[in-house]
Amino acid sequence: MISQETIVPGSHESLKTDELLINMGPQHPSTHGVLRVVIVTDGEIVKTARPEIGYLHRCFEKHSENVEWGQVIPYVDRLDYLASMNNAMGYSMAVERMLGVEVPRRAEYIRVIIAELQRIASHLMSFGTYGLDMGAFTAFMYGFRDREMILDIFEKISGARLLYNFMWVGGTYRDITPEIVEQIRSFLTYFKPKVDEYNTLLSYNKIFIERTKDVGVINLQTCFDYSLSGVMLRGAGFKWDLRKDVPYSIYKEVEFDVPTGSGEMGTLGDCWDRHIVRMREMKESIRIIEQLLDGIPEGPHRAKVGKIIKVPAGEGFSRTECPRGELGFYIISEGGTGAYRVKCKSPCFLNIAILDELGKGQMVADLVATIGSLDIVLGEVDR
Amino acid sequence: MTFDEVFEKLKTKFPDAILAKEETKPDPAVKIEPSKIKEILAFMRDELKFETLGCISGVDYPKIPALCVVYHPTSYTHKTIVALKAYLPRTEEPSIPTVTDLFKGANWLERETYDMFGIRFTGHPDHRRILCPEDWVGYPLRKDFKSPDYYNGMPVPLYFAEEEKTDTGGHA
């Protein structure tokens, strides 16, 4: 900032500047969906960046009160449409917890393998689009090429490429065949060296580092204040992953690390840290799948829960680690065939709320870097 | 720290504001006095190490009748979540103190609860609807909400009214 005394009359600094109000979105390539950000700029500097949401609100919670327990799953798929499997798994586990149903071992194996594949697919999308935001088109093509292979696997097991309806209360809707196991294995062999290649291509690229280091710094206290979760926490150097710390399903039987940011390129908790955490999580997901692929037990892939599910009266809050953070379902049942209330604690909804604080004082171009590093999906923000 | 330990600690600290333990399954809840929510959450954050506020949900109970605000303080130290339930009278716009000065993340969560249930959070810095349009009438997640026939001159599809009769999966 230039103080008033140092301005010389007649120089360019004495020119009067005005604040400019810009609407970024709802249709904008780098808002990753229908997000509208109301930006007030002073030249190139952002003064406020207020996110306005609700353009994709589809009354998920109202719908869940009006349909049966199982019929909610297609709606859950549409929350975070880049990680449908993880969402549906979270909801199914919440209902199973209320029911007190034990899921068969085979189903647990299939679920975790598929959920980790979905995590890779989701992080590949994030890697690709983040590269695109930063002006690197190649990353986008590579990310989508590899994501396509995972989608092919999902298409074989469920028949759909985006919204699968595969995870089901009590297990999975369909079984997987040895042929699919082989396909997953060959994908892993192909994909394993690629993560390092992509790191060389994008993460350690000089221009990319310059664009993302020291930008959008979120420290740990801010994470707690704003209830941020997932990659935001780990990017701020806090080793917290529900799969490790409050293990569910069969995660306590597999070995994997929880990557955290360390401020390698600049400040701890900057955009680069969050990006590299996602890249390293893909490697850990590969490790998890490799450990599970060989030992998938025989048996049923779904517990017997009956065609019409009746959940005993009660309430419960259960949460799972999704690619974008902690997805929680607060479910109240009155003993009927449908829910009395389903509240979705969406990680993206809480993560995007921090944008106004992060945006203040940034350059306009850095705001794009910040939004990209939050990796939001508007389907989950608006529900 | 288990739920019972948390409950005992809260009960000793706030004998008047902690009303009862709700033995719901699988997760029990603590029934609290709505006007004391700020003190309880501040105590939990600073003394009991519940670092963050995981969620704020509204629930409508027309049978009691009451509107309920459920807080889920979350602890990374104890790896646990506790549900605090504050019951409010089921009037047009009941009110409860805001907790935005304790947790900034509560800002949007409270706006969402207002938007869906019409619960007013006194002292909130930006008290507006968040998901519905600002000129929307009524609070959609209340059990007696009737979807309007027209919104700004556009017909609203009868998602909920026709559903039980025709069973078209929600599409009239």
CA distance B55 to A142: 37
Question: What pLDDT is recorded for position B171?
Answer: 46
Check whether B39 has a pLDDT greater than 80: yes
B144 touches chain A (CB under 8 A): no
Nearest alpha carbon to residue A280 among A142, A120, A121: A120
The sign of the dihedral angle between the CA atoms of B84, A333, A85, A79 is: negative
Query: Nearest-5° angle of CA A172, CA A177, CA A178?
Result: 135
Which residue, chain included where needed, has tokens 């517990």?
Answer: A303
CA of A361: how far to CAs of A265, B20, B64, B93, in Å? 21, 47, 49, 37
* Interchain pair A341, B160: CB under 8 A: no
Question: What pLDDT is recorded for position A5?
Answer: 61
Query: Which residues of chain B have a CB within 8 Å of the CB of A245?
Result: 76, 79
CA distance B115 to B130: 6
**Cβ partners under 8 Å of residue B167, min gap 6:** none
Query: Which residues of chain B have a CB within 8 Å of the CB of A98?
Result: 26
CB-CB neighbours of A245 under 10 Å: 12
* A289 φ, ψ (degrees, to nearest 5): -65, -40
* Interchain pair A227, B53: CB under 8 A: yes
Which residue, chain included where needed, has tokens 């997000």?
Answer: A35
Write out the two tokens for A100: 């007190």
Using CB atoms, pick whichever of A54, A227, A332 lies closest to residue B59.
A332
B131 touches chain A (CB under 8 A): yes
CA distance A142 to A148: 10
Query: Which residues of chain B have a CB within 8 Å of the CB of A382?
Result: 131
Query: Which residues of chain B have a CB within 8 Å of the CB of A317?
Result: 27, 54-55, 72, 81, 83
CB-CB neighbours of A179 under 10 Å: 8
Question: What pLDDT is recorded for position B167?
Answer: 47
Using an 8 Å Cβ cutoff, are B102 and B42 in contact?
Answer: yes
Nearest alpha carbon to residue A363 among A202, A214, A208: A214
* Interchain pair A330, B72: CB under 8 A: yes
Query: Nearest-5° angle of CA B138, CA B142, CA B146?
Result: 55
Nearest alpha carbon to residue A153 among A269, A289, A303: A289
pLDDT mean across residues, chain B:
85
Counting as low any pLDDT under 70, the low residues of chain A are: 1-15, 31
pLDDT-derived band at B169, boundaries 50, 70, 90: very low
B133 touches chain A (CB under 8 A): yes
B41 touches chain A (CB under 8 A): no
Question: What pLDDT is recorded for position A92?
Answer: 92
SS3 content of chain A, % helix, strand, coil (to 5): 50, 15, 35
Using CB atoms, pick whichever of B60, B132, B163 lies closest to residue A57.
B132
Query: Which residues of chain B have a CB within 8 Å of the CB of A341?
Result: 57, 59-60
CB-CB neighbours of A204 under 10 Å: 14
Beta bridge partners, B60, equal: B67
Beta bridge partners, B30, equal: B21, B84
Using CB atoms, pick whichever of A61, A227, A315 lies closest to residue B24.
A315
Question: What pLDDT is recorded for position B25?
Answer: 81
Write out the two tokens for A223: 């994470």
Across B98-117, average pLDDT: 91
Pairing type for strands B120-122 and B95-97 reads parallel
CA distance A88 to A226: 25
Which residue, chain included where needed, has tokens 């009927």?
Answer: A336
CA distance A101 to B33: 35
Pairing type for strands B150-151 and B95-97 reads unpaired
Beta bridge partners, A167, equal: A172
CA distance B145 to B18: 31
B162 touches chain A (CB under 8 A): no
* Interchain pair B55, A382: CB under 8 A: no
Query: Which residues of chain A have a CB within 8 Å of the CB of B107?
Result: 353
Write out the two tokens for A289: 């799948």
Question: What pLDDT is recorded for position A7?
Answer: 65
Nearest alpha carbon to residue A114 among A162, A63, A176: A176
Q: How far A295 CA lies from chain B's nearest CA (Å)?
A: 30
Q: What is the dihedral of CA A309, A313, A317, A319, to 10 degrees?
A: -10
Q: Which residues of A lie inside 8 Å of B (Cβ-Cβ)? A: 53-54, 57, 59, 61-63, 66-67, 71, 97-98, 100, 223-228, 238, 240, 245-246, 312, 314-317, 319, 326, 328, 330, 332, 341, 343, 345, 349-350, 353, 357, 382-383
Which residue, chain included where needed, has tokens 């949007």?
Answer: B108
Pairing type for strands B83-88 and A171-172 reads unpaired
Q: How many CB pairs under 8 A join A and B?
A: 102
Check whether B91 has a pLDDT greater than 70: yes
* Interchain pair B141, A61: CB under 8 A: yes
* Interchain pair A66, B27: CB under 8 A: no
* Interchain pair A330, B70: CB under 8 A: yes
* A302 φ, ψ (degrees, to nearest 5): -150, 140
Query: Which residues of chain A have a CB within 8 Å of the CB of B76?
Result: 238, 240, 245
* Interchain pair A224, B52: CB under 8 A: yes
Q: How far B114 CA lies from chain A's nearest CA (Å)?
A: 14
The sign of the dihedral angle between the CA atoms of A306, A309, A315, A320 is: positive
B108 touches chain A (CB under 8 A): yes
**Cβ partners under 8 Å of residue B113, min gap 6:** B56, B57, B58, B69, B119, B121
Pairing type for strands B29-32 and B83-88 reads parallel
Check whether B166 has a pLDDT greater than 70: no
Which residue, chain included where needed, has tokens 């600290």?
Answer: B13
CA of B154: how far to CAs of A356, B147, B148, B151, B170, in Å? 33, 13, 10, 5, 19
Q: How far B31 CA lies from chain A's nearest CA (Å)?
A: 14
The beta strands (E) that lie in chain A are given as 19-24, 36-42, 45-52, 167-168, 171-172, 314-322, 325-333, 341-345
* Interchain pair B170, A63: CB under 8 A: yes
Using CB atoms, pick whichever of A62, A227, A328 lies closest to residue B105.
A227
Question: What pLDDT is recorded for position A12?
Answer: 66
Using an 8 Å Cβ cutoff, are A278 and A119 in contact?
Answer: no
Tell me the DSSP string of B44-99: HHHTS---EEEEEEEEEETTTTEEEEEEEEEETTTTEE-EEEEEE--SSS-EEE--
Which DSSP letter does residue B157 get?
Answer: P
* Interchain pair A59, B159: CB under 8 A: yes
Helix axes A178-198, A105-133, angle to 10 degrees: 30
Q: Which of A227, A327, A334 to mutate to test the interface with B (most CBs of B within 10 A)?
A: A227
Q: What is the dihedral of CA A154, A157, A163, A167, to 10 degrees?
A: -120
CB-CB neighbours of A176 under 10 Å: 22
ipTM score above 0.90: no
